[in-house]
Structure 1
Amino acid sequence: RQSLHHMMNHEHEHVLILSGDQLYQMDYRNLLERHKENKSDLTIATIPVNAEDATGFGIMKTNKDGLIDSFIEKPEPDVLENWKSEVPDQYKEKGKEYLASMGIYIFNKDTLKRLFEENPNATDFGKEIIPKALKEGLRVSSFEFGGYWTDIGTIKSFFDANLSLADTVPEFNLYDNENYIYTRARLLPASKLMGTTLEHALMA
């Protein structure tokens, strides 16, 4: 919301909103393409999760066209059964039958501006902005992401994600030739380790 006036000074038609406490790799061009194809006002990136994780996310159900019909933020366990979705078999076999918001959104710029203006006290997309968009009958689409994604917004999830990177062949592989990580060059002195035994570890 605080950056809205900056966005309105540019001629772009869409606004991409991201979360800063997640680990994943996504080509946002595919998300934007789906948004345009569906002529959506808002597109939410989604991923199937299990029942245990579903209580910590915004969960939605979609129709056959990929449009979101209903949405609930962090549902209680006793209502989860009503929020199962049709998902590919590879997810269903793992019990991941709930379509969760990844906290990644593409809005039409004018739509975002109007929703903020009409809801001046709203501070949460999942609890306030998205339900309002659905109530107004806006075209809200789901973009189902098929790659690796994990939330690292808690100490436990951050710890677990770091440990998983040290697996022999990690699910999120930093050494994959197609998964480049770009940063600015920094010439720092090398690390020095003495009398140390390391196993399944990353040093940086």
Structure 2
Amino acid sequence: MNLTYLVREPKIKQEKNPLLLLLHGYGSNEEDLFSFASELPDEYYVVSVRAPYDLQPYGHAWYAIHFDADENKFSDDVQAIESRELIIQFIDKLIAKYPIDETQVSLIGFSQGAILSYAAALSYPEKIARVVALSGYLNEKIITEDFKSKDLSNLKFFVSHGTVDQVIPVDWARKAEPFLQNLGLEVMYKEYPIGHGVAPQNFYDFKNWLENNNL
């Protein structure tokens, strides 16, 4: 499957440049997070990719969200795993097409895109170095079963959430930090007094984190 995407070439060209891959949330599209692109560090390829599932009347999703009779919502983990694999294949295609340093791939995911970012990085730590997980949570069911046996030592995470998020409760997001720390991973966790979105301070904090964690 060929995924639709937008690309901002690096303003500072190197022999091989690092990649920032932007993964949007449920019901959105590739243009959403791409609004960040001009503000992101100049040395990166910034690629924003559209999720594969079309929603009606508009927007896209990485996987379906269903509601049962009691209005509990649950995720289609089979579709989520398929999208996790699509993301990894897409990274390989980008590396083949552009002069990208395969050791310097970072994911920035919002909401459903953050959930997929956790899963992709922990399942394929050899492919991904850093994750910025915005307003999401860690779903262990969509990570490969053998992930704890892999070398996760290079992974770094920036995790943030709004304290009054009405879509994904902040309690869900808070579980990621101890989970990742128990794996011996470096995590920066921050909360902001907002709902389901990215506050300006949140943006500057993760941008600074990226610049301070150059590989």
TM-score band (shorter)?
under 0.3
Larger helix percent = 2
Larger Rg: 1
Task: Give the alignment's TM-score, normalised by structure 1.
Answer: 0.26
Task: Give the alignment's TM-score, normalised by structure 2.
Answer: 0.25
